[in-house]
């Protein structure tokens, strides 16, 4: 009997991110069901686990997926490969009317952060989940910008080097560019900058993120703090390990010379500093890999909402 309460999905990429995402779907998805797990390494742990769970698999990449009978029912595909590979995948999936949720920095489709702008892109054929740093920090930038204009926002994402696989390392340049653009277009900052730090410390440290926003010196501090607190709770609803490390910090500083004239000529600015920690749920990945967990959790939240809307239609 056909299940009309859940949409069939496929995951391309049988590495850490793809495997964690598959496990989340199998354990926690309400409107999704695993149709296929796709990789290019027949010996990967992700494909082996999928087979043990009874999920159809292929080591033939997207071409192998297209040849599977299970693909006929697939309506959403998660791409957990690389920016370069996704550009090819996106074109193929679009031709077949299948929605792509992109966990790479390819940015083919609109940037999506579930708590900020998912509702605006429910009909998009391809949505991009930005980056791990983007998912962790853009909600905070948006929390500030909905209270007062943000002239400049800078984020520093520090992750354990153990949780940075080959895909992450190969996409460092795309990470900084994609995240910076999304800080502006989604977060609402006039200028955005992103920095990623791979921390080699042992034992591994969990993901830490720092957000700096420059705003008008007379901005309402209590309103900013309340907005940030509310946003952190909203993100924690689907990423339980997401939390503030301390209260929001405020410092009155001389307005940076590099922005002279761009935002008028104020003498001082208010620097808003927010310090975050992201602990992973340890479904498949270790708990210190919050950078990977927030990506899979955000992608799952987005797909669940897409599926819920389609089922209800």
216 Cβ contact partners less than 8 Å away, ≥ 6 residues apart: 148, 149, 266, 269, 270
Residues marked active site are found at 132
User: Cβ contacts of residue 274 below 8 Å, gap of 6+?
Assistant: 140, 210, 211, 213, 228, 244, 248, 249
Sequence ranges of the binding site: 14-17, 163-171, 291
What region, left, alpha or beta, does residue 214 occupy, with left being phi > 0 and alpha being psi -120 to 50 degrees? Answer: beta
Please give the annotated binding residues for NAD(+), written as ranges: 14-17, 163-171, 291
Asked if residue 256 lies in contact with residue 214, where contact means CB atoms within 8 angstroms, the answer is: yes
Q: How many angstroms separate the CA atoms of 33 and 297, rounded?
A: 16
Reading the block at residue 307, the tokens are 């599926």
Q: How far is the first Cα of the chain from the last one, in angstroms, to the nearest whole number?
A: 20
Structure tokens that stand for 286 in this block: 């270790």
């Amino acid at each position: 009997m056909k299940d009309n309460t859940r949409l069939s999905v496929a995951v391309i990429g049988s590495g850490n991110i793809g495997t964690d995402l598959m496990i989340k779907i199998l354990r926690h998805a309400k409107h999704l069901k695993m149709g296929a797990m796709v990789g290019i390494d027949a010996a990967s742990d992700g494909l082996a686990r999928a087979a043990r769970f009874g999920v159809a698999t292929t080591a033939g990449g997207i071409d192998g997926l297209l040849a599977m009978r299970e693909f006929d029912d697939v309506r959403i595909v998660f791409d957990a490969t690389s920016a370069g590979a996704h550009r090819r995948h996106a074109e193929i999936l679009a031709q077949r009317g299948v929605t792509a949720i992109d966990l790479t920095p390819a940015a083919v489709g609109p940037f999506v952060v579930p708590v900020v702008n998912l509702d605006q892109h429910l009909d998009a054929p391809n949505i991009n989940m930005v980056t791990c740093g983007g998912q962790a920090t853009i909600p905070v930038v948006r929390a500030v910008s909905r209270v007062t204009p943000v002239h400049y926002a800078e984020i520093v994402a520090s992750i354990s080097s153990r949780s940075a696989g080959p895909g992450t390392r190969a996409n460092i340049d795309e990470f900084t560019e994609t995240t910076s653009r999304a800080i502006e277009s989604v977060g609402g900052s006039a200028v955005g900058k992103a920095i990623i730090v791979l921390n080699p410390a042992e034992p591994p440290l969990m993901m830490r993120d720092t957000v700096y926003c420059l705003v008008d010196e007379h901005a309402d501090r209590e309103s900013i703090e309340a907005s940030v607190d509310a946003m952190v709770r909203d993100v924690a609803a689907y990423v339980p390990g997401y939390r503030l490390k301390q209260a929001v910090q405020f410092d009155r500083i001389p307005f940076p010379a590099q922005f002279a004239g761009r935002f008028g000529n104020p003498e001082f600015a208010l620097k808003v500093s927010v310090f975050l920690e992201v602990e992973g749920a340890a479904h498949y990945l270790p708990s210190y890999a919050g950078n990977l967990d927030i990506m899979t959790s955000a992608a799952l939240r987005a797909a669940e909402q897409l599926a819920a809307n389609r089922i209800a239609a």
